[in-house]
């Protein structure tokens, strides 16, 4: 059986968490690394939204939302029980945290990262709005090593790439901020084998149309 095809961009947080989901579920794919400024016609034919990740399954069906890719992979194999299928209460908390991250927080993150494109307010204002979500995470991490207890869940891996992005906007501010628990949690992810593997560099697919096995 051929492997599914994954169009990805290494530094995109959405593609990053899709790759983490596949890796954690031990699902191998043929990875095609792209540049968003030069999108392959094959990818656009599969998904007109024109952003990564895009996963093309062996039957030709397409999954083009990062969270859906994570859930698709983990529903088939979830050795660390990241979906917490035996605990509906935690499942509800996972959904709520990710929804806040992908909605309100991501909106403020984009404005914070590109404050020069949003001159209505200074950069500090957008950072302060994003800090409301950081406050929630810091409180959770003050009582446990991970967002929902002593072990990571889907929420940790789905949210981590966006906290990483927030921290990198002004690294000096973040390192001096009053978020020691988030800093420790972020460092734990950044130094993990999972992150190291998903951030491996691959040649661009459009250079020679060669896919690479990601497993």
Q: What is the pLDDT of residues 20-55, one digit of tens each?
A: 999 999 999 999 999 999 999 999 999 999 999 999
* 160-202: pLDDT as tens digits: 999 999 999 999 999 999 999 999 999 999 999 999 999 999 9
- pLDDT of 25: 98
- pLDDT of 6: 98
Query: Looking at residues 57-64, what average pLDDT do you find?
Result: 96
- pLDDT of 134: 98
Query: Looking at residues 126-133, what average pLDDT do you find?
Result: 98
Confidence grade of residue 85 (pLDDT, cut at 50, 70, 90): very high
How many residues does the structure list for the chain? 215
Among 1.20.1050.10, 1.20.1740.10, 2.60.40.790, 1.10.260.40, name the CATH number for the domain at 88-194: 1.20.1050.10
Question: Where exactly are the structural domains of the chain?
Answer: 5-80+198-214, 88-194
Give the pairing of strands 29-33 and 212-214: antiparallel
What percent helix, strand, coil does the chain show, rounded to 5?
55, 10, 35
Q: CB–CB of 155/148 below 8 Å?
A: yes
- pLDDT of 110: 98
Q: Is the pLDDT assigned to residue 153 strictly greater than 80?
A: yes
Query: Looking at residues 113-117, what average pLDDT do you find?
Result: 97
- pLDDT of 41: 95
Q: Is the pLDDT assigned to residue 79 strictly greater than 80?
A: yes
Indicate if the alpha-carbon torsion angle 9, 11, 15, 20 is positive or negative: positive
Q: CB–CB of 28/197 below 8 Å?
A: no
Confidence grade of residue 13 (pLDDT, cut at 50, 70, 90): very high
Distance CA 187, CA 18 (A): 20
* Tokens linked to 120: 């209505």
Please provide the CATH number assigned to the domain covering 5-80+198-214.
3.40.30.10
Distance CA 64, CA 68 (A): 8
Q: Is the pLDDT assigned to residue 2 strictly greater than 90?
A: no
The reported pTM is 0.96
Confidence grade of residue 109 (pLDDT, cut at 50, 70, 90): very high
């Amino acid at each position: 059986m051929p492997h599914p095809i994954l169009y990805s961009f290494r530094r995109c947080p959405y593609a990053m968490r899709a790759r983490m989901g596949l890796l954690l579920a031990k699902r191998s794919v043929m990875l095609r690394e792209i540049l968003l400024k030069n999108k392959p016609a094959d990818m656009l034919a599969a998904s007109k939204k024109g952003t990564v990740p895009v996963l093309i399954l062996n039957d030709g069906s397409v999954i083009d939302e990062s969270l859906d890719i994570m859930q698709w992979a983990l529903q088939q194999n979830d050795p660390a029980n990241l979906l917490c299928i035996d605990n509906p209460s935690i499942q509800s908390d996972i959904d709520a945290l990710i929804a806040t991250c992908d909605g309100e927080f991501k909106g403020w993150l984009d404005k914070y990262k590109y404050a020069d494109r949003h001159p209505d307010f200074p950069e500090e204002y957008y950072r302060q709005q994003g800090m409301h979500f950081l406050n929630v995470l810091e409180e959770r991490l003050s009582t446990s090593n991970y967002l929902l207890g002593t072990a990571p869940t889907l929420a940790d891996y789905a949210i981590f790439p966006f906290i990483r992005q927030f921290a990198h906007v002004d690294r000096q501010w973040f390192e001096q901020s009053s978020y020691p628990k988030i800093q420790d949690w972020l460092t734990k992810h950044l130094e993990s084998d999972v992150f190291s593997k998903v951030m491996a560099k691959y040649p661009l697919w459009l250079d020679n149309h060669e896919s690479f096995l990601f497993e």
